[in-house]
Structure formats: structure tokens, C-alpha cells
Amino acid sequence: MSPSERPLTAMIGLPDGPPDCAAYGRAGGWQAARRALRDMTPEAVIDLVTASKLRGRGGAGFGTGQKWSFVPRDPATTRRKYLIANADEMEPGTFKDRLLLEGNPLQLIEGMIVAGYAIQAGHGVIFLRGEYHLALERLNHAIAEAREVGWLGENILGSGFGFEIHVHASGGRYICGEETALLTALEGRRAQPRSKPPFPQVGGLWGAPSVVNNVETLCNLPHIVTNGAAWFLSLGLGPDSGTKIYGVSGRVRRPGAWELPMGTPLREIIEHHAGGMRDGYRLRAFLPGGASTAFLDAGQIDVTMDYGTVEKAGSRLGTGLAILLDDRTCPVGMLHNLEHFFAQESCGWCTPCRDGLPWVERLLGAIESGTGEPEDLDRLHDHARMLGPMGRTFCAHAPGAMAPLASGLKLFREDFDAHIHQQRCPLRETA
């Protein structure tokens, strides 16, 4: 793929590390910020991003331009507004934003300038996963350099628009992937989701209009403003536009992440880019978009990785980074590990999630250790049925946790039965 076909990663992996402001500019950077601030109105930027059909890359897939359109149109000088980059990448199996943050932090900064101008927010915050120490160092360095040369601060390019960015290193809670819990954490309070309405675009951080966008989403903006909506639409292979950073973890020869056209088949990602399964291992099933997506079986490996197709197959695109289950790994043990994570990451606000997820974890632990009972499967099905649908808990945490469980109970029923009847894990001695 040419650099124009992989815009997000074209400047990543350079011999001298991430580009500085001068090198970034020589390679085409800052054109979008210059064009937006000098030649476009905020409304024109929103219309352009809407026309590009850019969808959020954090997992929900909501239209970016549509999300921005809900923000009141007051100028930045008359009302305080906030733009937050969600870099708290804690979804198990997901590491795409880390690639962008460490590889080219100036791309994110330019994307935030464009987004901040579009919604007329004068303040930007990067909410960063606390364990991303290298990303923190490189972001702070890039922000300081951008401020020094005039890309951050007051009256950028004489446009009358000013914008500042600050980095907040998270204390480390998965629930901060939920945008209102993230805002609550930024305010110095316990990270718990808020009731809606009001939505963040109207009443967000400290009650001010706020937009939370994923890192990958924001990094697309400079390229859309520079090259246009039609160019971005042409990059996708199907109904969804642009490129996507896909990834694979599991027993493959080359686990990693790659920028590819949106709609690339999973088979191509696994066999060509990840090198296929390691010798002695066979693909059995996969989570297509991180831990909170439903299992699909190996027969669905040809699914094209776009929002609608993966949903029709019975799961979600999510973050687009697949977790593979091989034939020598116990699916019950894998589910137990996943539900342990979700149980410990519950914020504790609502009863079904706070008490239900630990119960699921205990049931799976008993089955995996050989002390499970046939009735435990009925209890697990009940939890998946009651916690899975949206609207029965305060946020999407519990429904996300139930996605792998509900699908796993269907796909791996024989494994569950074998654990219970043999009172042990049948794969433990062969894994």
C-alpha cells in the first residue's frame, strides 16, 4: 500500500523515531490545521467530516460528524468547551492507539486542533492509559514542541482561535472507556457513568459542552481535511469509509497491528499479515473486536471486517483487533479469565453488574476447576439473558461482558459438559 492508502501509519516506524514538527510538516503535516483555520468555517469542517462518513474507531462506531453536530455552536471565546481524546486503551487484546500515540503523536495533536476548531473548544485533554509510559513521554514532548512553534496557544495562525492540550495519565480503570465515566474521573471523582440526558455534548466536563473521541478517530481528521471526503470514502472496500488499524493476538506467527482498508476480510488479516496459525495449532473461534465482542467460529473467518457485516455475522467490529482461540486452549478457561477481568473492572454502581459479574466469574471458576454442577450452566444462561440486553444496567459494561459468555455457551457447550462430567479440564494435560 502507498502512503496515501495508509495515511495513519505512513510516518510511523521511521529510523529516527516519531517526526518532530519540522519533519512532520515536510511530510505533509499541518496542512489540515492550516486549511481549517484559514479557509474553513467550523460548520464547514463538521460538514466535511460528516460527508466522509468517518465512524468512531473506539468500538461504538457512531458517526463523528453527527456527534459533533450536537454541540452548541457558540464561539470558543464565549463559552468554555472541551475536546477529550480517549487514549485509555484498556480493552483486552487492543493496542492500536498505542501504535499511533508512540509512533506519531503530532498526528493526534493536529487532529485535535481540527476537531477543537470544528466544535469551537479551546481546551483539549488526552486521557491516557497510565501504563503507557513511552506514549506519555512522547506526547508531552510533542505538545511542548507544538506550543513552542505556535501550533498550540492563543490565536493560532492569526485565526482568532486558540487551543491548548493537556495530558492526563489515568489511574487505570476499564470503565473509563465509557465516556461519561471518563469525564467524572477527569473531575477528580470516582469513575462512574452518568445518567443521560444531558449528553456530554451539552453538559459534559464540569458541566460544559464536551466531545470525547477515540485516538484513531481523531488521527483520521488531518487526512480527511487535506484530501477530502471523496478520497476517504474511496479507501474502504465496502460500505464503510477509510482505513482501519486491525490487529491479531493469539497463537499466530506474527501477532501485531496493521493499517488496512476498512472491510478487509479477517482471513487476509490472519493468514497474510499475521502469518497464519503457529505450527501445531488450529483456529477454533475468535473475538473479532476485543474482549467485549461475541465469539464467531472458525468457519466465519472470511467475514469482512466492517461494522455491518460483523454485526450480521453475530458479533461487533468493536476495536477491530481480533483475539484468536486455538484448539489447544480451553474455551472455559478463556471465558473465566475474561469474566474475571470484567468483574474486577465493574465500577460497582448498579447491582446487576456489581453482583452479577462476580457470580459469573465464580461459576466459571468452579466449572474450570472441576467442581461445577449441571445447574451452573442454567445459571450462566440466566445471567447472559438478564445482563446482556442494553438498558438493564446503567452502562454497557455488563452487556459487553455477556457478549463472549452468551456466544461461548452456544459454541462450546460440549466443553462445558465435559468439564462438569469429568470434573476437570480435559485440555489441561494437552495444552
What are the extents of the domains in the chain?
3-235, 243-326, 331-422
Cβ(175)–Cβ(397) below 8 Å: yes
Rounded to the nearest 5 percent, the helix, strand and coil shares of the chain are: 45, 15, 40
Tell me the C-alpha distance between 322 and 244, whole Å.
13
Topology of domain 331-422, CATH = de novo design (two linked rop proteins) (1.20.1440)
Top-level class of domain 243-326:
alpha beta
- pLDDT at position 40: 97
Tell me the C-alpha distance between 191 and 179, whole Å.
10
Spatial CA neighbour of 410 closest among 372, 380, 370, 366: 380
- pLDDT at position 429: 58
The residue type found at 84 is: I
The residue type found at 365 is: G
Q: What is the pLDDT of residues 60-79, one digit of tens each?
A: 889 999 999 999 988 766 77
In sequence order, what DSSP letters do the residues of 27-75 get, joined into one string?
Answer: TTTTHHHHHHHHH--HHHHHHHHHHHT-B-SSSS--BHHHHHHTS----
Residues of the chain with confidence (pLDDT) below 70: 1-3, 76-77, 429-431
Report the predicted TM-score, pTM, of the whole model to 2 decimal places. Answer: 0.94
Question: What is the DSSP-derived secondary structure letter of residue 272?
Answer: I
CATH numeric code, 3-235: 3.40.50.11540
Tell me the C-alpha distance between 369 and 201, whole Å.
47
Q: What is the pLDDT of residues 324-364, one digit of tens each?
A: 999 999 999 999 999 999 999 998 888 989 999 999 999 99
Q: Quick one: cell of 282?
A: 488450529
Cβ(174)–Cβ(182) below 8 Å: no
Strand spans (E) along 192-290: 210-214, 243-249, 256-261, 283-287
